[in-house]
Amino acid sequence: ACLVGSEMCIRDRCPPCELSMLLKGKVALIAGAAISMVGIPASSVQAQTDSLLRARHRAWAIPADLSDAQQVQQTVKAFGCLYIAVACAAVRYHDCDFNFDALDESVWEETHAVNLRGVMLTCKSSIGHMLNQESGGSIVMVSSVTARDGESPNASYLTSKHGLNAYTGTLLWRAQYLL
């Protein structure tokens, strides 16, 4: 997985709008950057980062293991300030996550390490960081329609996304006490 940071306006080529003005100069962390979710190689993430740099934005592509608390904490700290964290890391093994009686435990463990632990660590580090700055921040959680309809042969993936939805609900409930 990869952590991508960017300091940019999301609508740089459009006339200024209220949203673009709110986001201008804000630091965002995208944890996952679709690397493991859709198999995009790290070089593609670096290419996207390079295109942001050519457009005069500050951007970083940082390879990291999102299930490793120390790597996540160090990366979040490196940003200095952080206004937006997008937790979208995920793995899904279509070829080996479907037979309940023959499911390899390592597939279950890795799926939950990235899809749940990685998101939790991203949120934990980001929330702590945001609470220590005057401006606060926002967290965006990315799940899957799979968790809503429950129709997937991929048991590890499906249960991890159900868990992610429950975790998101817990964060929302708990947020009222953090403010």
pLDDT tens digit string along 127-176? 888 888 888 888 888 888 888 887 888 999 999 999 999 999 998 888 77
Mean pLDDT over all residues of the chain?
78
Nearest C-alpha neighbor of 30 from the set 132, 140, 112: 140
68-77 residue pLDDT tens: 889 888 888 8
Strands 84-87 and 27-31: parallel
- Residue % of the chain over a pLDDT of 90: 17
